[in-house]
Structure 1
């Protein structure tokens, strides 16, 4: 049975092979099954790392691959083909081959995209690492060459600062209590600024790390990760040979005092203590003094210990040849303040770090004057004794700014940076941060110089005119970009000018009037009387007060039409009607013409009247009645100038402004006393026009009596149209 079954299977296979020979597109197999198996095993052992798809692709004729792909019905989508019927052997084999091709192409495409995405990610990481290295070198680089930003970086910083301002205002909008998670310092007490100085004593860990990782071969970094190993590797670069004047031996091949100094420079007292413990038998009493220094919360030895250390320094170490030993003792004991330690502090930042560590913030009088360095003394030395020329401030402005800023001379630092045109944006944004942290000393008067000193201030204290700083900065773009200027003005919301007015509201008022961006900044009044919000709504909850302030400013400047729009936006109908009466009075008797003053004011008045009638809004009684009377008089003069004598007469008859009969003279004279000045101002024109109307009617009557055809009788509708105006509320 088994033999028969195998023979039958062999016969079917031969028949199948004969049938497939007609398919010319399929590759012909020249080997039997055993040879194919042996060749496959051999190929698999040689190319075990290649996927099945790759092996299949190797068998393709690359030269004709494009022609073969064109024959695939799914060549553009690379989706699997639909299966064919099992009885169609030729179609089945062709379908299987096409599906294999499509799956191979799809797999290759997928892997290509993944590979491209991986390459892109790695490229971005490399670029980001380069940016980080450049920033670290810039911020922590060596001495006078540090902090040199290119123009592109300055532009990106400006954009970042701008987004920072927007984000900060958004933060305030969400957190209405406006509390930042930061320590606010009371600038009324100048000593509180010393807390910032303590914080600003930066360590050199990042610079050391950048140096080591930039010279890994020479650094020979190894061992347990930490500051100690980092300093050892740094010294392999910094001090590759023996140090002249080295004292107290070495630790793992490096001068002990150099190790201690650079551990302190990195801000890691624990690493420095690790060195001290390894060399304690060579250091005498220093270990005891250093332990006390490390455990002190303010990094200050007790007066008795400090005096012992200073005495030891004066007797033994003042002329020591090891510069690192002298520097460490001067740091711990805050002594020999005249020594700049140029051998170890060869960069400006190192000098600042060393001097700030020597500053006595809470002097108790136990130190001799020659051993006492106050912050004011250091500030005077840097600002007045050395000054800008010593630090080449014109060539390296960021370096001099760093010197002033790190010694708590914030106001002088900002004022200096603001003097450089291309750096003004940085100066303003630094000032904004200091202002928000309540670290900025401000001038008490708006008219003060940008940097000034007031009576009673300590000698080195300067005040910054924060209001002037912002207004000078925004002046260059407030007319072209008022939305951005508004972001800066919001910082002045708690500031007052010399007249006690809120500076934010004053600046907004001036900004709106100068830019004429009323709708964009303050909002727009819709036809239904609702107000569409403006940019100002993001900054103030009560926008009516600000809009009223702007409207008042516009009124004071004689911009009455703009003031009318603003007062209506602020829901103040009394002022709207008052100003409209003042605007309408001089023009109501004029002849109407397209694009004329009268036509524009008439359209505005009619729109207000219709809106107030629809909403049921009314102003103060006198202004309200005057407004509608002036509108009626405008209709009277329009009819009169158009030659509609009878319609004009009907308007005047209804208004009862002038006596049209002998019996009404006394009544009209008594009523005249109640009219406002805006109406009285037009009485002469009203009388003249009325007399001309009566004269024309009289002539017409005489002509009718003499046989001349008279005027036709007007219809009821014609009379009613005169008695109904859009603003008529009766």
Structure 2
């Protein structure tokens, strides 16, 4: 067939189609057909496979995707929660106005809720971050107290040690620490009984003599001598320390007594009762003919001013006056000034004349002792070191203290700054002479810096008890906040005084024997009873609470030891805890247990709080928080050793106490507990596969319907439930539907015609559960609704 014949037949077919169907005629050249084919191919190849599949899928269902896309693009893209525009001038359209107002109210509630949720989340986030940083800061500050020498030896292989679980834990206290702890325990007993309490500094000082360390005994005696005050200090010790003359007088008297003992050991104890003979013998022994060069005045062929100086140095001012009287009338004025000073009087006119005499003649004298006596009696040249006379640090401190006048806070502060900041530990070689530097700090009134140095230099056990003793007598300058470092500077305090964080020092010391010597550690924490944390809580409470929290939920021995054992369902007495010894108007065991329980609730430790509330006799709060705990685990599968297993045992125990009428609780709390206990048994049976018994147990709760007629009654019962029980309802519904499906599948496998009635009952129960889920007065979780629908569909 040639091409012409083919063309003619094509034209005939076109004419026939036009005549029969009246279709519009389309005329395209081959080039146009090729172009259209190319465009269609390019569009298909550029589109993804998913788009092509979507076109095919929707096209097979009769959906025109391009037209649908145009409709979607034409939709108004207004924000979902944008406020509705107010009604125009047509005030008669009340329905539209009320509709807009209602929608705007709903939108405003949604917006406020979202805003509040965002703010709450932000606050909780920053609070958690702040708490984390505070804990890290505390850990770092504790680590800066001193380098740890307990390095881990990675080369050693693990050793197998067999311990007898019945043996009590051995004490971590050394013999010295145990003696300190017993003395503190005895002091606390006297304090709690209201008896006259002794000076704890003096008690510890006497106790230190039994340790066989002369340097330690000397340090305690120095501290006890300097801190003797006539009246207890009830105000801030740091604010008034430099204004009170007792510390200067006590330090000066202590140095004088020590030097008198030194003089007696040098010349013999026979002269100890007669200061006049003691000083003359000491000067005779010390000053030979060659040592008197430069000394200007004499008395009975002995240098006068050394005798006056050493008489004053050993605290015998009357003996010094007697020497001056024997020397002649030219020394009467100076003798009178010494006598007046010793009596507490001041003769300004005579002192002014003597100061002029010192400036004109004596200042350039070759007699170093005469210059020193004039200086500390008249207060001349306060910056003079008197190196020819003051050979030791004790001599130097005595001269500086003797030059101070009552109320001279500026001079006292300059002396403290000189010792602490100008010279410091390096000058005194403190690492090798711990006792010397410690006593120097104490003698100039820097008690806080002295204790911190002692604790840092490997003598923390003594530093802790010194701090506690000074705190009890009201002398220790405590930190402004318990979260501050061990030693801190307050810009409002006189320079260079420091503040000591007693709480941090005691807790660092007591931390290593908290678990083994709990009774002793409570006595140390009791020393913090007058301190408060940043939240205003008593530090004794806070420390005990931390001790209980860190003990762990599985170890309940700490509860029984501190607060006593809980009652049993038997009528017998239970022993009390060691906290009974701290019962006083400020601290009662039951009150203390309640306060600790409240703190544990705030920290989320409900399981320990339940025990403490019960020990405190507050059974309502105990059972209430127990219900909250039980509601969180009641739906889990039973596993030995799990929290659910522990709570199951506790639930049985509470049931026995309630049955024996040993405790009384509110009816609503008791009803919630009994209902949760029924659900606990129900879930146990469900997980064990005992479906019939589980359904029977569930019927006792009257929460799940068997028919659609029971839905309203179950809803009424659910509305009366407490919040902790309502949280379990979704899991109960899923478990009930799962049991129904399992029973349905078992009947289906048997294929018996006699089971049709049972089939119908199961289908009705499933329908009733679905209706109950749809009628709930609270929002059901999405996963619960989804699971219920899936289980119901499996039965159809």
- TM-score range normalised by the length of the shorter chain: 0.5 to 0.7
Q: Does 1:555 find its partner at 2:555?
A: no
Distance 1:452 1:655, change over 3 A: closer
Corresponding position of 2:380: 335
Q: Does 1:359 find its partner at 2:395?
A: no
Corresponding position of 1:201: 252
Distance 1:288 1:526, change over 3 A: same
Secondary structure, counterpart of 1:173 in structure 2: helix
Q: Does 1:445 find its partner at 2:492?
A: no
Q: Which deviations, in whole Å up to 9, do the C-alpha atoms of 1:216-236 show, x marking residues without a partner?
A: xxx366579322233334334
Q: Which deviations, in whole Å up to 9, do the C-alpha atoms of 1:430-460 show, x marking residues without a partner?
A: 2222222222333323343333333433333
Q: Does 1:310 find its partner at 2:355?
A: yes
Q: Distance in 1 between matches of 2:348 and 2:178?
A: 51
Counterpart among 380, 384, 387 of residue 417 in structure 2: 380
Corresponding position of 1:350: 395
Q: Does 1:506 find its partner at 2:554?
A: no
The 5-angstrom pairing of residues 517-666 of structure 1 reads 517-527=558-568, 528=571, 532-540=575-583, 541-589=587-635, 592=638, 594-638=640-684, 651-660=697-706, 664-666=710-712
Q: Distance in 2 between matches of 1:304 and 1:373?
A: 24
Kept after mapping to 2: 8 A contact 1:227/1:263 = yes
The 5-angstrom pairing of residues 240-389 of structure 1 reads 240-241=288-289, 243-251=292-300, 254-281=302-329, 283-296=331-344, 301-362=346-407, 374-389=411-426
Q: Which deviations, in whole Å up to 9, do the C-alpha atoms of 1:258-287 show, x marking residues without a partner?
A: 222222111122333333343344635323
Q: Distance in 2 between matches of 1:684 and 1:156?
A: 64
Kept after mapping to 1: 8 A contact 2:441/2:450 = yes
Q: Distance in 1 between matches of 2:272 and 2:649?
A: 85
What is the CA-CA distance between 1:317 and the residue it aligns to?
Answer: 1.7
The 5-angstrom pairing of residues 50-61 of structure 1 reads none
Q: Distance in 2 between matches of 1:159 and 1:343?
A: 47
Q: Identify unmatched segments of 5+ residues in structure 2.
A: 1-172, 200-228, 553-557, 756-796
What is the CA-CA distance between 1:566 and the residue it aligns to?
Answer: 1.8
Q: Which deviations, in whole Å up to 9, do the C-alpha atoms of 1:327-349 show, x marking residues without a partner?
A: 22222212222322222221101
Corresponding position of 2:190: 171
Q: Distance in 2 between matches of 1:464 and 1:642?
A: 61
Kept after mapping to 1: 8 A contact 2:325/2:332 = no
Distance 1:471 1:591, change over 3 A: closer
Counterpart among 518, 525, 548 of residue 489 in structure 1: 525
What is the CA-CA distance between 1:565 and the residue it aligns to?
Answer: 1.5
Q: Does 1:431 find its partner at 2:467?
A: yes
Q: Does 1:458 find its partner at 2:494?
A: yes
Secondary structure, counterpart of 1:524 in structure 2: coil
What is the CA-CA distance between 1:295 and the residue it aligns to?
Answer: 2.3
How many corresponding residue pairs?
A: 537
Q: Does 1:407 find its partner at 2:444?
A: yes
Q: Distance in 2 between matches of 1:597 and 1:385?
A: 61
What is the CA-CA distance between 1:354 and the residue it aligns to?
Answer: 0.9
Distance 1:344 1:521, change over 3 A: same
Distance 1:159 1:525, change over 3 A: closer
Secondary structure, counterpart of 2:495 in structure 1: coil
Q: Identify unmatched segments of 5+ residues in structure 1.
A: 1-153, 364-371, 707-730
Structure with greater contact order relative to length (CA < 8 Å, sep ≥ 6): 2
Corresponding position of 1:515: 551
What is the CA-CA distance between 1:606 and the residue it aligns to?
Answer: 0.7
Q: Does 1:677 find its partner at 2:726?
A: yes
Q: Which deviations, in whole Å up to 9, do the C-alpha atoms of 1:36-88 show, x marking residues without a partner?
A: xxxxxxxxxxxxxxxxxxxxxxxxxxxxxxxxxxxxxxxxxxxxxxxxxxxxx
Kept after mapping to 2: 8 A contact 1:359/1:373 = no
Q: Distance in 2 between matches of 1:597 and 1:453?
A: 48
Kept after mapping to 1: 8 A contact 2:449/2:487 = yes
Corresponding position of 2:783: none
Secondary structure, counterpart of 1:395 in structure 2: coil
Secondary structure, counterpart of 1:286 in structure 2: helix
Kept after mapping to 2: 8 A contact 1:220/1:233 = no
The 5-angstrom pairing of residues 124-163 of structure 1 reads 158=177, 160-163=179-182
What is the CA-CA distance between 1:680 and the residue it aligns to?
Answer: 1.4
Distance 1:361 1:238, change over 3 A: same
Corresponding position of 1:143: none
Corresponding position of 1:473: 509
What is the CA-CA distance between 1:627 and the residue it aligns to?
Answer: 0.7
Distance 1:530 1:609, change over 3 A: farther
Q: Distance in 2 between matches of 1:693 and 1:632?
A: 22
In angstroms, what is the RMSD of aligned CA positions?
3.7
Kept after mapping to 2: 8 A contact 1:526/1:532 = no
Provide the TM-score with structure 2 as the length reference. 0.60
Q: Distance in 2 between matches of 1:189 and 1:211?
A: 34
Counterpart among 403, 419, 423 of residue 456 in structure 2: 419
